[in-house]
Structure 1
Amino acid sequence: MKTSSLGTAPTAKRAPGRLAFGTCFGLAGALLGMVALFSLLSSHFLSYATFSTLANQIPDLMVLAVGMTFVLVIGGIDLSVGSVLALAGSVVSVAMLGWGWSVLPAALLGMGSAALVGSLTGSITVAWRIPSFIVSLGVLEMARGAAYQLTDSRTAYVGDALAWLSDPIAFGISPSFLIALAVIVLAQLVLVRTVFGRYLVAIGTNEEAVRLAGVDPRPYRILVFALMGLLAGLAALFQVSRLEAADPNAGSGLELQVIAAVVIGGTSLMGGRGSVVSTFFGVLIISVLAAGLAQIGASEPTKRIITGAVIVIAVIIDTYRSRRTGRWN
């Protein structure tokens, strides 16, 4: 952003839309190529059952990736999302099984607790100007420890009270997938069509210019991390509904998949550039890759090597793009 007027800053206003159009085309091509390859390697891959099952397994990853897109756009990162998901699920189980709460209040408490943890991460990052990488790393451990404490380190079975979220309805698609899809659409509109979204892009592009323009970036940073926490709580509900249980080990390592999906989707690790729609394509690529490798019988080490290679390639592409646009220092 080259001007102190946010209202006329071309980068803050139009960058997300350009990214969505240009990047989505390439991502869609890569996705179709993967589907074609795995269809040739496995006779069972190209089927409606495969894709409906895949769709019903990824809503938690979808909503987490939306939150991470916003976090990366402002130039931050949140490593605690997997642990916060586990904590939210543990809170829901305690409220339902230990306190006898009904589903709705327990779900709201779980999401609220996750949003509170996100607010804590953002507040510490802003107040002491500590990199969010370090703060979220500490929160990762604290949230995981709290999840173990609440559940006595045991899986809590909540039954089918939330099962309706993951039970397939029309065309074998679950309500959780439809909700996650609605979150993606809403988040893209917020990022591209609202002043709030333009402020987030501007903060990630040049925070000092935003400050000189008379806008305090601190509340926006805290709000983004709180939103990340809230979406982690929603992801916890999706996972609890699918497993009919709250596992304190849930989400372990999930932050890596989330960040990978967002980076593959073209959101810059340097901040200031991102698209929720492109992130959705990144989620699909990660998920199709995992499902395809599983169907062709790839071993776990092989799957890790290939997935890791895809992430490294995505980071190299992001670095090259940042250098071309002059964003890399």
Structure 2
Amino acid sequence: MSSNVLARRSPAASWFAENGALVALVVLVVALSLLSADFLSVTNLLNVGVQAAVTAILAFGATFVIVTGGIDLSVGSVAALSAIVLAWTATSAGLPWPVATAVSLAVGVVCGLVNAALIAYGKLPPFIATLAMLGIARGLALVISQGSPIAMPDAVSTLGGTFGDYLPIPVVVMVIMGLIAAVVLNRTYPGRAMYAIGGNEEAARLSGIKVNRQKLITYALSGAFAAVAGIVLASRLASAQPQAAAGYELDAIAAVVIGGASLSGGKGRALGTFVGALILAVLRNGLNLLSVSAFWQQVVIGVVIALAVLVDTLRRRGTN
């Protein structure tokens, strides 16, 4: 019966089902612009973009993992570790900042590969493997930094600035990383393999996809995106802090789910993730402008995440 209902769904209903997050973002922007005269100011909108940047970059990496039916709880800690490694190698170790940046990105990739190896070859559930990496990466960040912030090289700190007087560089980096994520998902073999694995891992294996190899690529990409997010965050703060990005993994996963991805795998888009990250940033920004308590803000964000997961669950039931 549900198949017949889906078959009779109008084009408008289908479009709404696929772009519900975008509609929600537009409604949210309109509502906040009516409630606060400051919301639509150029300065505030750019501030929203900067607030969304780190979460969005983390979420783009998390999208790869969630599309395969996995999850990565370590991205916040990997972001902090990567930034600490960059700052430490450029200061204490005396490496040139381009080399230090490459080492930092490599650290993110290695963390992702370790996650994938534990999942693909150690047969650990993704939740457990990435939870372990969450603790390991955060601990290493604290050990390397001895619990104290480390100044970022001046050349890297410019990432936290602006082009000209208005355009924030973190927003530009966010857009670039989003385009890379979209190309990977839509235009490459690993991207197609991610959808196949998330749809049915055994069928993907029988069709000739080397599932374990693709999981290595998937989690390595998630680690690389986390490293970029960590560098951007540290640049904004002008220092790498071992406790930075704590809890950001939850925002990243929330952005992916709000953007229309399915936690069961096989569904997700870079554009949807971008919209999900913007929804979280707009919500927080708007609630701040309306002087809503930070405690109530957590309640609102939690309700939004719960509703997004509920919608995903109902959508999956409707297709069965």
For residues 52 and 104 of structure 2, what CA distance do their matches in structure 1 show? 20
Q: Measure, in 1, the Cα distance between the counterparts of 2:17 and 2:46.
A: 25
Q: Is the 8 A contact 1:86 1:249 kept in 2?
A: yes
How far the C-alpha of 1:57 sits from its partner, in A, is 3.0
Letter in 2 for 1:36: V
Q: Using the alignment, how far apart are the partners of 2:209 and 2:23 within structure 1?
A: 40
Which residue does the alignment assign to 1:276? 270
1:246 corresponding residue in structure 2? 240
Instruction: Report how many aligned residue pairs link the two structures.
Output: 307
Matched letter for residue 89 of structure 1: A
**Cα deviation per residue 1:194-231 (whole Å; 9 max; x = unaligned)?**
33222110101111111111222100011110110011
Q: Hey, what does 1:30 align to over in structure 2?
A: 24
* Amino acid aligned to 1:205: G
Would you say 1:320 and 2:314 are equivalent positions? Answer: yes
Amino acid at match of 1:120: V
The CA distance in 1 between the partners of 2:179 and 2:90, in whole Å, is 31
Other-structure match for 1:12: none
The 3-state SS of whatever aligns with 1:64 is helix
Measured after TM superposition, the shift of residue 301 of structure 1 is 1.0
Aligned-partner Cα distance in 2 for 1:94–1:143: 15
- Shift in alpha-carbon separation, 1:111–1:219, aligned structure 2, 3 A: same
Q: CA RMSD in A?
A: 1.6
Deviation at 1:189, TM superposition (A): 2.5
SS of residue matched to 1:162: helix
2-side partners of 1:114 and 1:258: how far apart? 16
CA contact (8 A) 1:24 1:278 kept: no
Aligned: 1:176 with 2:173: no
Indicate conservation of the 8 Å contact 1:264/1:311, yes or no: yes
2:180 to 183, 186, 194: 186
Report what 2:128 is aligned to: 134
Mapping of 1:66-85 within 5 angstroms? 66-85=60-79
Aligned counterparts of 1:290 and 1:135: Cα–Cα separation in 2? 31
Residue identity (%): 36
What TM-score results when the alignment is normalised by the length of structure 2?
0.92
Distance in 2 (CA, whole Å) between partners of 1:158 and 1:272 is 39
- Counterpart selection for 1:294 from 267, 288, 294: 288
| 1:93 Cα offset (Å) | 1.3
Is 1:104 matched up with 2:98?
yes
1:222 paired with 2:216, answer yes
Q: Say if 1:23 and 1:278, in contact at 8 Å, map to a contact too.
A: no
Match of 1:119 in 2: 113
Q: Does 1:86 align with 2:80?
A: yes
2:60 is equivalent to residue 63 of structure 1: no
User: Do the aligned residues in 1 keep the contact of 2:115 with 2:219 (CA within 8 Å)?
Assistant: yes
Return the alpha-carbon distance in structure 2 between the equivalents of residues 57 and 300 of structure 1: 16
Q: Give the C-alpha shift of residue 161 in structure 1.
A: 2.8
| Pair 1:50 & 2:44 matched | yes
Where do 1:135-214 residues align within 5 Å?
135-158=129-152, 160-170=154-164, 172-214=166-208
Partner of 2:4: none
1:119 counterpart letter in structure 2:
L
> Distance in 1 between the 2:25 and 2:275 partners?
8
Give how far 1:175 is off.
Answer: 2.8
Q: Check conservation: 2:70, 2:126, Cα contact below 8 A.
A: yes
Q: Which residue number in structure 2 is paired with residue 234 of structure 1? A: 228
